[in-house]
């Protein structure tokens, strides 16, 4: 009996996790889970109810009552939800409430899962763990280009600043901070486009899956 294959893709904002994880899942025939959506959807619920993402009781209640439809809302990508997601994510009861769903997902069919703590906490036994990074400048530029494409005019410096605050909060929190697992493979995509990042990751993964 072999355990389903799980591939963990962790790293900071706009490192290219989602783009890479989606492609890997398609190539490997595995399901894909964007775990950031769970925290985003939790924050969105709290904000829509007029609450504060830092209110632990409100955030935990939102996390415990998430439904599949909450993960498909069109408004999960704005600046308020970005910051709110990282605020709810710093609270232990919220993380505890979202853990079972993520672990069951992995146990059922395996999958490529992207987030911050997949390799360290959610799936410490993942077959392959990637920690994807890129320079803060490159990441801010990518997010800024996405915002431009959505028709939002926001200065690049503001995007960079928001991202720095969020990354610092994610790395500094006590519970499941963003950090590479000891056995993670680091992949720096600063100089790589999505295709080149995929090819690099594919080679690294094949080497690990062969052993």
- Per CB under 6 A, residues contacting ligand CDP are 11, 13-19, 35-36, 39-40, 85-86, 89, 115-118, 142, 146, 166, 170, 189, 192-194, 197
Q: Which is nearer to ligand CDP, 45 or 166 (CB)?
A: 166
Residue 141: other Cβ atoms inside 10 A: 16
Cα separation values, 200 from 26, 114, 130, 203, Å: 16, 17, 11, 5
Shortest Å distance, C-beta 1 to ligand CDP: 28
The helix/strand/coil state of 115 is: strand
Q: Which residue is nearest to ligand CDP, using beta carbons?
A: 36
Does 19 belong to an annotated binding site?
Answer: yes
Rg of the Cα trace of the chain? 17
- Which residues, other chains included, contact 96 with Cβ-Cβ below 8 Å and sequence gap of 6+? none
Does 12 belong to an annotated binding site?
Answer: yes
Does 36 belong to an annotated binding site?
Answer: no
Shortest Å distance, C-beta 18 to ligand CDP: 3
Does 136 belong to an annotated binding site?
Answer: no
Would you put residue 110 in left (φ > 0), alpha (ψ -120 to 50) or beta? left
Shortest Å distance, C-beta 57 to ligand CDP: 19
| Residues of each annotated binding site | 11-19
| Residues of each annotated binding site for ATP | 11-19
């Amino acid at each position: 009996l072999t355990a389903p294959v799980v591939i963990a893709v962790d790293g900071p904002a706009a490192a290219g996790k989602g783009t890479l994880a989606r492609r890997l899942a398609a190539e490997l025939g595995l399901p894909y889970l964007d775990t950031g959506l769970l925290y985003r959807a939790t924050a969105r619920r709290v904000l829509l109810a007029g609450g504060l993402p830092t209110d632990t009781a409100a955030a935990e209640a939102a996390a415990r009552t998430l439904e599949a439809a909450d993960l498909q809302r069109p408004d999960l990508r704005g600046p308020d939800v970005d910051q709110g997601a990282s605020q709810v994510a710093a609270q232990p009861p919220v993380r505890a409430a979202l853990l079972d769903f993520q672990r069951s997902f992995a146990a059922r069919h395996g999958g490529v899962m992207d987030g911050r703590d997949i390799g360290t906490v959610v799936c410490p036994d993942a077959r392959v763990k990637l920690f994807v990074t890129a320079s803060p400048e490159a990441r801010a530029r990518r997010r800024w280009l996405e915002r431009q494409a959505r028709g939002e005019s926001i200065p690049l410096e503001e995007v960079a600043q928001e991202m720095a605050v969020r990354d610092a909060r994610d790395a500094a929190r006590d519970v499941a901070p963003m950090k590479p697992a000891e056995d993670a493979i680091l992949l720096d995509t600063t100089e790589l486009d999505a295709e080149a990042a995929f090819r690099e990751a594919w080679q690294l993964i094949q080497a690990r899956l062969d052993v």
